[in-house]
Structure 1
Amino acid sequence: MKPIKIVTPPLAANCYLILDEKSALIDCGGDTKFILNALSRYMEPKDLDYLILTHSHFDHAAAAGDLKELGCKILMHKDEYALVKAQGFTSIFFNVKFKPFKPDFELKGGEIIELGDVVLEVIHTPGHSPGSICLYDENKKWLFSGDTVFAYGAFGRVDLPGGDAKALVKSIEKLSELDVENLYPGHEDVIEGNAKASILEALSIVKMIF
């Protein structure tokens, strides 16, 4: 079964629900009521096993505290947790405060998350934020790219707190080495088929700019 794309308010962030032997939601958006209603179309929200956060920006993670209270385990990169904790769970750029939470697993990169048929490798991809991660299924050739890289050569902004242009270039270089057929980014369109072309295009552009 392919990932289920859920576009969430307030900034149209893409979240992805994977239903396998274990269930996982990749990012949760910023509106708790919305994401719970969306999840309930496919499952009981309280039965969600994992919430994996690609990064801590409020449009991707502000509902995390509420979801954790329902019982899911939260996974996020240790550098990202340090950033959001230091900011008091407030989006400095957008001045939005959200419910504090503590991840159950602080990732470093290289971890393998086995959901069943879907097996995700955690790839640390700083640049858009210090602890941004991507998730890669080598067998299915799926890449969940958060706000690191998008369809059609677009890539994440680096002008938010913790952004780093040089780190973003290195991260996209790392992603360009993967065999990717389907790209599931944090905003806008999904690419199914020949998605590596979008990553290579993004790499070419960021190298010219940065």
Structure 2
Amino acid sequence: MSALPIAGHWFERKALGDGITLLWEPHVHPLLRCNIWHVAGRDSDLLVDTGLGVASLAEAARDLFDKPLTVVLTHCHMDHAGGAHEFDTCCVHPAEAAALAEASNHLPLDVSVYSADDLAWFAGIGYDISGGLLAAIPHAGFNPVTHVMQAAQASRLIGEGDVVDLGDRKFEVLHLPGHSPGSIALWDAASGTLFSGDAIYDGALLDQIPGSDIPAYIHSMERLRDLPVRVVHAGHDPSFGRDRLVELADAYLTSRSKT
């Protein structure tokens, strides 16, 4: 692996209004570039997912964390839960807790360890990772070859119908397995806002990886299609509205009806 430059800063952010801030890691390949969402509430704040964990999210976003913070992991793949060890208020679905505690969803950042078949598979679903998973490193001395995901402990197990209450807004937990066993989304019915994690996003959906389940994904997609959303803030790629949600759900359901 050729030497990578040191990034001047690791995280970018954008305030979207309605108390919502998007954070992301621009030097990470889109395959692993998770959307991290901060939602400001009256009594407490919400953080949805924690990114790859190669740099300190707690330090980079410390100015946002001025109230009690609840961290919800939509699932425990490395790109969403890599930074979870920095926070002591992580909520996960019971089906994801062991993976978080064991850091078992580690994905090597060194692409030289991937076989030609692995690289071809990723390319076939729209992710060419042959050029590397990082375009820079977060600080001097960071070695992508030796980096491993850090384990973390869940402080609360949450599932279907549970509520994350920020005081002035409430998010209902939807269990949407398929991408992973404990994939969840957070639904604010009052505003029509959905934080969907990797249950649905405007990109290549992964349903043939360890822990995925296509029949479960089909059922989850049918649920999502019927949800009266105004805006979906997903785990990857841009946010979108209900019309695009329906298009994406229909495309997935049609593709899987042929298999």
**TM-score normalised by length of structure 2:** 0.70
Q: Percent identity?
A: 26
Q: Following TM superposition, by how much is the alpha carbon of 1:94 offset from its aligned partner in structure 2, in angstroms?
A: 3.8
Q: Kindly indicate which of the two structures has a greater share of residues assigned to strand.
A: 1
- Aligned equivalents of 1:51 and 1:25: distance in 2? 5
Aligned to 2:236: 187
Matched, 1:12 2:33: yes
The size of the alignment, in residue pairs, is 197
Task: Give, as a single letter, the amino acid of the residue that structure 2 aligns with 1:136.
Answer: W
Out of 206, 221, 225, the position equivalent to 1:157 is 206
Task: Give, as a single letter, the amino acid of the residue that structure 2 aligns with 1:172.
Answer: M
Query: Which residues in structure 2 correspond to 1:28-47 (within 5 Å)?
Result: 28-31=50-53, 33-44=55-66, 47=67
Query: Which residues in structure 2 correspond to 1:14-93 (within 5 Å)?
Result: 14-20=35-41, 21-31=43-53, 33-44=55-66, 47-68=67-88, 73-85=89-101, 88-91=102-105, 93=107
Task: Give, as a single letter, the amino acid of the residue that structure 1 aligns with 2:85.
Answer: G
Unaligned ranges ≥5, structure 1? none
- Aligned equivalents of 2:21 and 2:33: distance in 1? 15
Q: Following TM superposition, by how much is the alpha carbon of 1:142 offset from its aligned partner in structure 2, in angstroms?
A: 0.1
Structure ID, larger Rg: 2
- Aligned equivalents of 1:120 and 1:97: distance in 2? 32
Tell me, yes or no, if the aligned pair for 2:74 and 2:183 is still in contact at 8 Å: yes
Aligned to 2:163: 112
Out of 184, 188, 201, the position equivalent to 1:137 is 188
Q: Secondary structure at the match of 2:55?
A: helix
Instruction: Quickly say closer, same or farther: Cα 1:99–1:48, change in 2 above 3 A.
Output: farther
Q: CA RMSD in A?
A: 2.0
Give deviations 1:42-82, integer Å, cap 9, x for gaps. Answer: 235xx5421100000011101101222xxxx1100000113
Q: Following TM superposition, by how much is the alpha carbon of 1:183 offset from its aligned partner in structure 2, in angstroms?
A: 0.8
Q: Following TM superposition, by how much is the alpha carbon of 1:97 offset from its aligned partner in structure 2, in angstroms?
A: 3.2
Instruction: Quickly say closer, same or farther: Cα 1:124–1:173, change in 2 above 3 A.
Output: same
